[in-house]
């Protein structure tokens, strides 16, 4: 890529760049005045030693968690670091006819397959269009090479198009060409002339293999065809999706633009080949990275950390280059290079960025001192120790995309955006129909599909789903329904909580300038707690200057040392104090806490007080409600991962596990890991800790384990199945010996484009909570289902996709866990997240794991004190 000459970064070190090579044609290095030392990854720390625990009679297993996990760090399974994806082709990656297929669990191969029973039938419409006819013959795959090498795919396509008459209809993805014709001989050598300089280019087209109907690669080819059709709609490719720049919506008040677009994927479903179409909106900011740099530089006299502020605002963000509409994720800012720095072109000559953009794009850069942005271009398959390319970008030519956290916190901005982005069911259906009609009636688009005998229906797919029975919640000697909207807030306010923690001493750190309001707030809090049978004694209130963080931390230490409180409410008037206080109480100490803003104190809202009373109870081990889960001896686990907000190379994997049959008591742990390290070993270590804890509490190991694994992309499924699952099984074997343990391993996917609607064409609506879909649009190779667990009052509800990759539950459970029962259990667990008196999108252990991982990554930057592992301190 000439405008962004690639540079190589080896291994896992960050921040240090290799010197430029001496030979032409090798990977180029950074600008010549580059400097900096590589920063190596920190070695993993061994867990601290613990006293050994005795085995229970009749159970085999290790003496301690450390013995179980001692070999996990060195364990690898085959080629597990090479993920193979499913679905649409991303970017310009070459198509590989390799597809790792996970065998469906035996439990989904009965007469009913993966179909569940029970509930009420409901007619649904989804955002899938059937493909009524498609190519029914073999395709031939060819590798295409250009001499000299051509980096730009547009130039490659132009050179190939000169031979359209010879080649016939074909698809080209940047390295592979697909055609229904078998060219003779097997290797063709063609000659084309480059338009902009009349240079002769030799094209070599070499036959590689035949792609049969039904091959996974054939689905990818269909996706290339659809992308070609979208290109013929005069849409702009931005990142992975197509957007209509001509239909953009300007919001000058916030200096934003909204580009409407489409996400499309052809996929093989249980009902056949379907085209999924989802509307998308790209948020474009009317400021460049250089504008943001200037804004930060204006404060240089009063803020010596202005450059750090700029880096924190840019690193991790996605930018759009204004000269070719390409998107890049920014990984670093190179202060030692600028637009006057030079790089080597393909012919070996050197040129500065200033001259390059002037000669190539007719752009005159206004600022010659702006530091260059660095983006890592990842390869399609990441192999341990492999290289990645570094792309240098000019801030002046990069437009910022998306929203900053400051923008998200601006409720006026978000309200204005919601007018355009929060699309209801009926309006969304209209947009789907408009899209398919545009594809089918635009001549170029329709012709590109007909050349390959690809015919799309203009009717959305319809089918039957099921609505599960409404759940009943239990408090202390009281029951109440979840409600049609799955919201039981009104019932909860006067219902005794299921279990209440006993609290003897607790404290409140409040503002000395607002002491009267603090006391009124506490009075309201005690009142609402009493209505829920939660007996809160009067707290010790300490009035200080809450704007002075040093005084705040000193006061916390004094309060803890003097009165040893079970709980502390911390009132703040600055958001940045939240992180400091949480680190002090969760990492340095082990005291559950609730941070409350001074604004909430002044409002003295009874609803807020109710939520805080529930949180206090939960953070001390109590539970406000439960749903009945009949199976005994089952441990349910949730796991999620979150990236460190300051160190993007570092992530935290959080595990939550239930410790009793009512699934109201929890164990939690967090494992940090560096980028490139195998998270599977850390995951297995966390499960070993959970099993050890469960055994110490219940004097027995669980009879069965259900794992809800969040944070997994389609391209990681093979890795999870071949490595992570194997390590979990090894850990269980260390505990159970030759005894069987029933286990279900379920991949939870929230970021999906599938949508469902009920009602009629005149009034489409969101499906009610509890709607399950296990047919028609599900994957024939998977034991999977969709679940709509939430009720939304605005916009369109997003379902959650569940893929059961392992299911041996029936080997040890007392009841037969059918697909229907597993679906119902999953829905039950969405009622058990105590931070919300309604259902959530994922099972509670999964949501809690996300909450814990997020708190650790954003605020704590370190695992919490082990003294808190039995409490929901992170709620």
Among residues 261, 181, 268, 183, which one has the least CA distance to residue 222? 268
- Do 366 and 400 touch, CB atoms closer than 8 A? no
The number of beta carbons lying within 10 Å of the beta carbon of residue 467 is: 18
3-state DSSP assignment of residue 588: helix
b/e 652-684 (16+ beta carbons within 10 angstroms → b): bbbbbbbbebbbbbbbbbbbbbbeebbbbbbbb
How far apart are the C-alpha atoms of 829 and 797, rounded to whole Å? 19
Residue 618 backbone dihedrals phi, psi, to 5 degrees: -65, -40
Catalytic choice (270, 631, 678, 726): 678
Count Cα atoms within 13 angstroms, Cβ side, for 136.
4
Enumerate residues 6+ apart whose C-beta is below 8 A from 749.
Answer: 712, 800, 801, 802, 803
Sequence-ordered alpha helix ranges (H) in 761-843: 819-829
Place of tokens 């280059």: 321
- Residue 17 near residue 34 (C-beta atoms within 8 A): yes
* 179 Cβ contact partners less than 8 Å away, ≥ 6 residues apart: 139, 140, 142, 167, 168, 169, 170, 171
Of 751, 513, 498, which Cα lies nearest the Cα of 627?
498
Contact 508, 500 (CB under 8 A): no
**Which listed residue (389, 710, 724, 807) is catalytic?**
710
Question: Under a CB-based contact definition with an 8 Å cutoff, are residues 52 and 664 in contact?
Answer: no
- Least Cα distance to 486 among 824, 788, 277, 712 occurs for 788
Out of 332, 471, 640, 774, which one is annotated catalytic?
640
Distant-in-sequence, close-in-space partners of 562: CB < 8 Å, separation ≥ 6: none
Token pair listed for 418: 């919601």
Q: Are 332 and 318 in contact (CB under 8 A)?
A: no
d(CA 682, CA 684): 5
Tokens of 452: 């390959």
Phi-psi map region of 861: left, alpha, beta (phi>0 left; psi -120 to 50 alpha): left
For residue 232, how many C-alpha atoms fall within 13 Å in the half-sphere facing its CB?
18
Calpha distance 732→744 (Å, rounded): 13
Is the alpha carbon torsion for 541, 547, 548, 550 positive or negative?
Answer: positive
User: Among 230, 248, 238, 237, which Cα is nearest to 399's?
Assistant: 238
The single residue listed with the structure tokens 């705040």 is 552
Question: Which sign, positive or negative, has the C-alpha torsion 147, 148, 152, 158?
Answer: negative
Whether the CB-CB separation of 497 and 533 falls below 8 Å is answered with: yes
Element (H, E) at 434: helix 425-441
Q: Cβ distance 374 to 72 under 8 Å?
A: no
State yes or no: is 850 an active-site residue.
yes
Can 678 be counted among the known catalytic residues? yes
The CA-CA-CA angle for residues 448, 452, 457, to 5°, reads 80
- Give the Å distances, CA to CA, from 227 to 98, 258, 268, 500, 637: 21, 21, 17, 57, 40
**Catalytic residue numbers, as ranges:** 640, 678, 710, 850
């Amino acid at each position: 890529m000439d405008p962004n000459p690639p540079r190589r970064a080896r291994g896992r070190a960050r921040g240090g760049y290799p010197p430029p090579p001496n030979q032409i044609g090798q990977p180029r290095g950074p600008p010549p005045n580059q400097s900096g030392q590589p920063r190596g990854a920190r070695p993993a720390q061994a867990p601290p030693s613990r006293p050994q625990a005795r085995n229970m009679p009749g159970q085999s297993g290790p003496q301690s968690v450390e013995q179980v996990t001692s070999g996990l760090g060195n364990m690898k399974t085959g080629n597990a670091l090479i993920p193979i994806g499913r679905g649409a082709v991303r970017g310009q990656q070459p198509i590989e006819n390799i597809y790792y297929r996970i065998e469906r669990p035996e439990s989904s191969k009965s007469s009913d397959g993966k179909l569940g029973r029970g509930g009420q039938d409901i007619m649904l419409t989804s955002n899938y269009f059937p493909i009524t006819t498609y190519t029914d013959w073999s395709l031939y795959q060819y590798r295409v090479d250009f001499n000299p090498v051509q980096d730009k795919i547009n130039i490659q396509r132009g050179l190939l198009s000169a031979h359209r008459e010879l080649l016939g209809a074909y698809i080209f993805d940047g390295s592979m060409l697909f055609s229904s014709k078998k060219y003779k001989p097997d290797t063709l050598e063609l000659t084309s002339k480059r338009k902009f300089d009349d240079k002769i280019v030799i094209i070599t087209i070499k036959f590689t293999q035949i792609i049969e109907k039904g091959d996974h690669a054939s689905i990818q080819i269909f996706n290339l065809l659809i992308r070609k059709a979208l290109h013929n709609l005069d849409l702009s490719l931005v990142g992975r999706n197509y957007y209509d720049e001509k239909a953009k919506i300007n919001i000058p008040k916030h200096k934003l633009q909204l580009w409407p677009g489409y996400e499309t994927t052809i996929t093989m479903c249980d009902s056949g080949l379907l085209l999924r179409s989802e509307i998308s909106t790209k948020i474009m900011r009317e400021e460049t990275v250089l504008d943001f740099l200037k804004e930060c530089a204006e404060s240089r006299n009063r803020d010596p950390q202005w450059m750090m502020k700029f880096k924190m605002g840019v690193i991790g963000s996605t930018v759009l280059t204004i000269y070719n509409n390409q998107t890049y994720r920014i990984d670093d800012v190179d202060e030692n290079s600028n637009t006057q720095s030079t790089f080597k072109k393909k012919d070996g000559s050197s040129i500065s960025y200033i001259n390059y953009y002037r000669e190539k794009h007719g752009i005159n850069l206004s600022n010659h001192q702006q530091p260059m942005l660095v983006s890592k271009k990842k390869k399609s398959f990441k192999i341990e120790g492999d290289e990645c390319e570094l792309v240098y970008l000019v801030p002046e030519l990069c437009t910022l995309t998306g929203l900053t956290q400051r923008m998200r916190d601006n409720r006026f901005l978000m309200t204005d955006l919601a007018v355009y982005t929060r699309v209801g069911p009926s309006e969304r259906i209209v947009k789907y129909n408009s899209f398919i009609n545009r594809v089918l009636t635009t001549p170029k688009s329709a012709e590109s599909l007909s050349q390959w005998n690809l015919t799309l229906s203009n009717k959305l797919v319809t089918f039957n789903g099921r609505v599960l029975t409404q759940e009943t919640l239990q408090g202390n000697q009281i029951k109440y329904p979840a409600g049609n909207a799955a919201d039981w807030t009104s019932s909860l306010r006067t219902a005794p909580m299921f279990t209440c923690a006993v609290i003897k001493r607790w404290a409140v750190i409040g503002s000395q300038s607002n002491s009267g309001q603090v006391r009124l707030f506490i009075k309201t809090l005690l009142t609402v707690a009493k209505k829920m049978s939660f007996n809160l004694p009067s707290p010790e209130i300490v009035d200080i200057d809450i704007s002075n963080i040093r005084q705040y931390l000193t006061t916390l230490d004094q309060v803890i040392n003097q009165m040893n409180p079970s709980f502390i409410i911390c009132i703040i008037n600055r958001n940045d104090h939240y992180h400091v206080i949480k680190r002090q109480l969760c990492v340095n100490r082990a005291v559950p806490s609730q941070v409350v803003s001074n604004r909430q104190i002044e409002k003295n809202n009874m609803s807020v007080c109710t939520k805080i009373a529930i949180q206090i109870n939960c953070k001390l081990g109590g539970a406000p409600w439960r749903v009945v889960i009949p199976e005994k001896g089952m441990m349910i686990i949730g796991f999620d991962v979150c990236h460190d907000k300051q160190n993007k190379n570092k992530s935290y994997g959080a595990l939550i596990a239930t410790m009793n049959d009512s699934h109201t008591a929890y164990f939690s742990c967090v494992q940090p890991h560096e980028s490139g390290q195998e998270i599977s070993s850390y995951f297995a270590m966390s499960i070993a800790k959970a099993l050890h804890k469960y055994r110490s509490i219940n004097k027995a190991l669980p009879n069965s384990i259900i794992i809800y694994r969040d944070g997994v992309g389609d391209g990681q499924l093979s890795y999870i199945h071949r490595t992570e699952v194997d390590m979990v099984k090894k850990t269980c074997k260390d505990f159970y010996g030759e005894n069987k343990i029933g286990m279900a391993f379920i991949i939870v996917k929230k970021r999906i484009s599938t949508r469902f609607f009920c009602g009629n064409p005149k009034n489409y609506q969101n499906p009610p909570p509890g709607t399950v879909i296990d047919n028609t649009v599900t994957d024939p190779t998977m034991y999977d289902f969709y679940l709509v667990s939430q009720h939304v009052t605005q916009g369109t509800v997003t379902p959650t996709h569940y893929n059961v990759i392992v299911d041996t539950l029936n080997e040890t459970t007392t009841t037969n866990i059918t697909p229907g029962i597993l679906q119902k259990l999953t829905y039950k667990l969405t009622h058990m997240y105590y931070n919300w008196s309604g259902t959530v999108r994922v099972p509670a252990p999964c949501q809690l794991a996300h909450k814990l991982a997020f708190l650790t990554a954003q605020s704590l930057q370190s695992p919490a004190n082990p003294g808190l592992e039995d409490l929901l301190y992170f709620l």
